[in-house]
């Protein structure tokens, strides 16, 4: 059965952190849903790139998801953090030990949802004041079902960690600036 990944998009999302991993996961055969968290089916990223989402979060049967992805960016991360539907989904996914992943500033969503207690994580520098514990500063972290990435430069490594956690046997790896299938 094909695994399903929802990438949650809020206005101000970091385009690289959402779209590069989504591309990787689709190439690996995962079903990827670009899900707009707002009422509109189009979402504008932090750098002015407008994306037509595959669906709105409200339309997705979230019990069918195997992973939820929170891209960073500003104000995208804050928009995700301040959305009760997003927080409820993050809590449910984490409670069911499903892949719950955030990159860049988006671990602030995991923090507000209360799923980072006792979890090793990383994030973009500068948001430590919003967190109850200290990020590691590593490029990526995998701690159980929680996966985090440091920022835009970690997009491919982050994608590979999520793919592996979802059981990809393609052995994806990041080498020489290119995503390759091993």
Question: How do residues 72-130 score in pLDDT, each as one tens digit?
Answer: 999 999 999 999 999 999 999 999 999 999 999 999 999 999 999 999 999 999 999 99
Sequence-separated (6 or more) residues with CB below 8 Å from residue 156: 20, 21, 24, 174, 179
Structure tokens at 139: 């490029």
Question: Are the CB atoms for 109 and 86 separated by under 8 Å?
Answer: yes
Distance, CA of 104 to CA of 176 (rounded, Å): 22
Q: What angle do CA 6, 7, 13 make, to 5 degrees?
A: 160
For residue 80, the domain's CATH number is 3.40.50.880
Q: 104, 147, 154, 160: which one is catalytic? A: 104
Structure tokens at 42: 């189009």
Q: Write out pLDDT tens, residues 18-62.
A: 999 999 999 999 999 999 999 999 999 999 999 999 999 999 999
Could you list the residue range(s) of the whole structural domain that residue 9 is in? 4-181
Residue whose entry in the numeric block shows the structure tokens 């835009």: 152
Q: Which helix (H) or strand (E) holds 88?
A: helix 84-95
Look at the pTM and tell me if it is higher than 0.95. Answer: no
Q: How many domains does the chain have?
A: 1
Does 161 qualify as catalytic in the annotation? no
């Amino acid at each position: 059965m094909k695994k399903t990944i929802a990438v949650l998009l809020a206005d101000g999302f970091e385009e690289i952190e959402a779209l590069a991993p989504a591309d990787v996961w689709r190439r690996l055969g995962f079903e990827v849903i670009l899900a707009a968290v707002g009422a509109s089916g189009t979402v504008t990223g932090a750098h002015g790139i407008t994306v037509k989402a595959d669906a709105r979060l409200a339309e997705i049967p979230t019990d069918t998801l195997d992973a939820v992805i929170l891209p960073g960016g500003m104000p995208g991360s804050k928009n995700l953090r301040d959305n009760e539907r997003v927080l409820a989904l993050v809590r449910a996914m984490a409670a069911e030990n499903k892949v719950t992943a955030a990159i860049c500033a988006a671990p602030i969503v995991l923090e507000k949802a209360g799923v980072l207690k006792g979890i090793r994580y990383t994030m973009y520098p500068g948001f430590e004041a919003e967190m109850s514990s200290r990020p590691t500063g590593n490029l990526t972290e995998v701690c159980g079902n929680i996966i985090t990435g440091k920022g835009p430069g970690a997009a491919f490594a982050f994608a590979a960690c999520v793919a592996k956690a979802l059981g990809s046997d393609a052995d994806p790896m990041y080498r020489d600036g290119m995503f390759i299938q091993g």
